[in-house]
């Protein structure tokens, strides 16, 4: 008799999500994330919880992708109702505290029947209420987790407004505003919820380190995914936003210039992003060395994100 291997939680969620998701969101991405998160965790995590945490983090990435696409993927937004759709999706993250104990009631009756919104809400409600809330030290770090999820929503709302209003911001502001969407801080807080020996007096320093890692992860991801953002017309992509700031391209080019020609114009900017990534890595490394955090191995944490291999095939 052949015994079928039990599906992970993220695979079960993705079966529902894929029917409404952007065609650019392939299962290979989430499979790669799951395998990565089995190695990406704080050294203080209870070893028996590593696989469960990897699964939960990958599920959060499905939610992250769903909300992110609702804000910066133009075709998906237009298909689902535009502004009201984007704000309903953002409200799911902003109202994580309401989802925690009972399914959040959507305020807009007109959007309530949108299958994309409903599917995302159902997945997130189950994830927060039946998985995250049951982690051993959830209560110790609940407030920081709720704030981190609001920060994720805020980063996506920033992306949404930039795309909607076609605003050219300084590159440094784009980086700071978008970093939280990578969710390193959020995932690291889940690690702390699964770490019985973490000294809560070190939480402030740890959160600063997590935020620096978010910037590194976001820039690393950008280097490997910016060509896809041309297709999605995501002007908040750091490569695109820097090119707009330097006037190498204009917003109107996305309507008149081919994707291949845009890639060629943006290639030099991609190299600039690599230089910014090196600076971000240096900042994170210096903070790690000076922070004197004792509850987990900060050098191992830093090296995990510096050496993370972003799979271009999975991302695109």
DSSP reduced 3-state for 101: coil
Residue 174 has pLDDT above 90, yes or no: yes
What are 7-57's pLDDT values in tens digits?
899 999 999 999 898 888 889 999 999 999 999 999 999 999 999 999 999
d(CA 244, CA 263): 13
Q: Which SS3 state, helix, strand or coil, does residue 166 take?
A: coil
Query: 270 is written with which tokens?
Result: 């991609």
**Mean pLDDT in the chain?**
89
For residue 199, the model assigns a pLDDT of: 97
What does the alpha-carbon distance between residue 30 and residue 58 come to, in Å, rounded to a whole number? 6
Please give the domain boundaries of the chain with CATH numbers for all domains. Answer: 9-308 (1.10.600.10)
- What is the pLDDT at residue 111? 52
Helix pair 138-165, 184-193: axis angle to 10 deg: 170
Check whether 312 has a pLDDT greater than 60: no
| Top-confidence residue, 111 or 154 | 154
Q: Closest Cα partner for 138 from 152, 154, 127, 124?
A: 127
Choose the most confident range, by mean pLDDT, from 105-109, 114-118, 200-204. 200-204
Name which of 134, 144, 102, 135 is nearest 121 in CA terms: 102
């Amino acid at each position: 008799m052949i015994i079928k291997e039990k599906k992970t939680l993220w695979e079960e969620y993705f079966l529902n999500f894929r029917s409404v998701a952007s065609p650019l969101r392939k299962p290979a991405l989430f499979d790669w994330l799951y395998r990565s998160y089995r190695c990406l965790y704080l050294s203080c995590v209870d070893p028996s919880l590593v696989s469960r945490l990897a699964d939960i983090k990958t599920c959060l990435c499905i939610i992250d992708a769903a909300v992110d696409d609702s804000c910066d993927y133009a075709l998906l937004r237009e298909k689902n109702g535009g502004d009201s759709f984007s704000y309903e999706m953002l409200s799911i993250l902003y109202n994580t505290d309401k989802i925690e104990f009972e399914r959040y009631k959507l305020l807009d009756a007109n959007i309530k029947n949108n299958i994309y919104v409903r599917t995302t809400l159902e997945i997130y409600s189950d994830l927060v209420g039946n998985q995250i809330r049951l982690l051993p030290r959830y209560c110790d770090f609940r407030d920081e987790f709720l704030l981190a999820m609001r920060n994720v929503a805020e980063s996506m709302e920033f992306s949404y407004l930039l795309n909607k209003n076609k605003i050219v911001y300084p590159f440094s502001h784009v980086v700071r505003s978008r970093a939280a969407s990578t969710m390193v801080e959020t995932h690291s807080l889940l690690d702390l919820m699964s770490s019985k020996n973490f000294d809560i007096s070190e939480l402030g320093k740890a959160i600063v380190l997590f935020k620096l890692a978010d910037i590194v992860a976001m820039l690393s991801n950008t280097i490997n995914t910016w060509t896809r953002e041309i297709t999605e017309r995501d002007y908040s992509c750091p490569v695109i936003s820097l090119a707009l700031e330097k006037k190498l391209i204009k917003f109107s080019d996305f309507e008149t210039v081919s994707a291949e020609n845009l890639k060629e114009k943006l290639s030099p900017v991609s190299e600039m992003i690599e230089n910014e990534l090196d600076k971000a890595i240096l900042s994170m490394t210096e903070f790690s060395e000076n922070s004197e955090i004792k509850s987990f191995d900060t050098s191992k944490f830093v090296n995990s994100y510096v050496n993370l291999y972003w799979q271009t095939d999975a991302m695109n």
